[in-house]
């Protein structure tokens, strides 16, 4: 797809497929005990299934103030039904793709959850029971989760392509936000572009600046200023420099030399000598790259999952009767 006080929360997170299941009190004498609450193509979803899936969450719902309970129950019951409809659509799509989850797959997943929560197997099933699940219900929920994951991975994963440049861009955006109150002391080497220069002259100046950059280090930067032109810019704050120049400086670490950056009058190569707080608290890109990638992938997959389920719904005949 943890100590006693956190076991229940950790376990609930492990069975995300059931998180939206909610409860309703037992029917009164005037209520119908069984009826169809939705039809997905030719498959009926029954009230009894809706209520069965709600049982583990009865205690939570009984905490709702009595005057608000009816409205809350209606809303939450709708959420159960939407989840059941999605599960039926996923089941059908998985059958079409010939995707199956075996009993062995489920048992491996159970053991993984047990290990993740730091429990013995007997302790784990005790926590499951405390959450209101039988072992059979938990295994059924876990199977649905595995099926959904495998189907989405097969159908959706190919639509998501996150590159190193994408991750770096997100990091730079976060770093720039952290640096909004930053002051930085910098110097630069400047390669001028004549006013009214054409594309050929601009390209020549860019190539010259790129060649200079290849020769530079922190130690010889002052020699580069003397040789090519530029100078000390002193302490700058956000807003002191135009657009692209400022964005470059905001993402730089102390001691870093920038790539050539186009400004209004030519190309600048910056060296940041010092900074005052702000983004200094941000860890280096290399330390957070993998976590950023996982976060971005998770968000992208969630979005693709929503789109995929919307597509399945458009191609199905759904009749809700709740």
Nearest residue to 155 (alpha-carbon basis) of 209, 208, 202, 89: 89
Fold assignment, 4-155: Triger factor/SurA peptide-binding fold (1.10.4030)
pLDDT of res. 180 = 63
φ/ψ of 243, rounded to 5, equals 0, -90
Start-to-end CA distance of the chain, whole Å, equals: 31
pLDDT of res. 19 = 31
Q: How far apart are CA 310 and CA 292, in angstroms?
A: 27
Distance of CA 206 to the CA centre of its chain: 38
**Cβ pair 245, 191 in contact under 8 A:** no
**Cβ pair 37, 136 in contact under 8 A:** no
pLDDT of res. 30 = 52
> Angle at the Cα of 59 (from 68 to 49), degrees rounded to 5?
90
Q: How far apart are CA 152 and CA 160, in angstroms?
A: 11
> H/E/C letters for each residue in the chain?
CCCHHHHHHHHHHHCHHHCCCCCCCCCCCCCCCCCEEEEECCEEEEHHHHHHHHHHHHHHHHCCCHHHHHHHHHHHHHHHHHHHHHHHHHHHHHHHCCCCCCHHHHHHHHHHHHHHCCCCHHHHHHHHHHCCCCHHHHHHHHHHHHHHHHHHHHHCHHHCCCCHHHHHHHHHHHHHHHCCCCEEEEEEEEEECCCCCCHHHHHHHHHHHHHHHHHCCCCCHHHHHHHHCEEEEEEEECCCCCHHHHHHHHCCCCCCECCCEECCCEEEEEEEEEEECCHHHCCCHHHHHHHHHHHHHHHHHHHHHHHHHHHHHHCCCEEECC
pLDDT in tens, the chain (322 residues): 444 334 444 444 343 333 333 333 444 455 557 899 999 998 999 998 888 887 777 777 888 888 888 888 888 789 999 999 999 999 999 999 899 999 999 999 999 999 988 889 999 999 888 887 889 989 999 999 999 989 988 887 777 889 999 999 999 888 877 666 677 889 999 999 888 788 888 899 999 999 999 999 999 999 999 988 999 988 887 677 887 888 888 888 889 999 999 988 899 999 999 887 654 567 888 999 999 999 998 888 888 889 999 999 999 999 999 8
Residue 17 in tokens: 């497929």
Q: Within a 10 A sphere around the Cβ of 185, how many other Cβ atoms?
A: 16
Fold assignment, 182-276: Chitinase A; domain 3 (3.10.50)
Its pTM stands at 0.53
Nearest residue to 248 (alpha-carbon basis) of 270, 233, 264, 266: 270
Domain boundaries, the chain: 4-155, 182-276
pLDDT of res. 130 = 85
């Amino acid at each position: 797809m943890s100590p006693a006080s956190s076991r229940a929360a950790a376990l609930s997170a492990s069975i995300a497929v059931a998180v939206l299941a909610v409860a309703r009190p037992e029917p009164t004498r005037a209520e119908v005990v069984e009826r169809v609450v939705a039809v997905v193509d030719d498959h009926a979803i029954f009230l009894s299934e809706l209520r069965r899936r709600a049982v583990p969450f009865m205690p939570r719902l009984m905490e709702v103030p009595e005057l608000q309970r009816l409205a809350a129950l209606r809303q939450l019951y709708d959420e159960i039904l939407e989840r059941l409809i999605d599960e039926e659509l996923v089941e059908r799509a998985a059958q079409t793709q010939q995707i199956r989850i075996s009993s062995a797959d489920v048992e491996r997943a159970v053991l993984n959850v047990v290990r993740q929560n730091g429990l013995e197997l007997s302790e784990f099933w005790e926590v499951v029971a405390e959450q209101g699940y039988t072992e059979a219900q938990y295994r059924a929920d876990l199977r649905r989760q595995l099926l959904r994951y495998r189907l989405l991975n097969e159908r959706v994963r190919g639509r998501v392509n996150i590159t190193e440049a994408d991750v770096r861009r997100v990091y730079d955006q976060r770093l720039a936000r952290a640096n909004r109150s930053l002051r930085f002391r910098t110097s630069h080497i400047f390669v001028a572009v004549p006013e009214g220069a054409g594309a050929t002259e601009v390209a020549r100046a860019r190539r010259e600046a790129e060649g200079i950059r290849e020769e530079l280090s922190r130690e010889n930067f002052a020699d580069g200023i003397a040789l090519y032109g530029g100078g000390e810019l002193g302490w700058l704050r956000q807003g002191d420099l135009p657009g692209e120049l400022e964005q470059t400086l905001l993402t730089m670490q102390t001691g870093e030399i920038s790539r050539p950056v186009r400004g209004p009058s030519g190309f600048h190569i910056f060296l940041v000598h010092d900074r005052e707080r702000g983004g200094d608290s941000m860890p280096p890109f290399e330390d957070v790259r993998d976590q950023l990638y996982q976060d971005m992938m998770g968000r992208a997959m969630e979005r693709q999952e929503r789109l995929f389920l919307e597509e399945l719904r458009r191609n199905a005949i759904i009749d809700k009767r709740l």
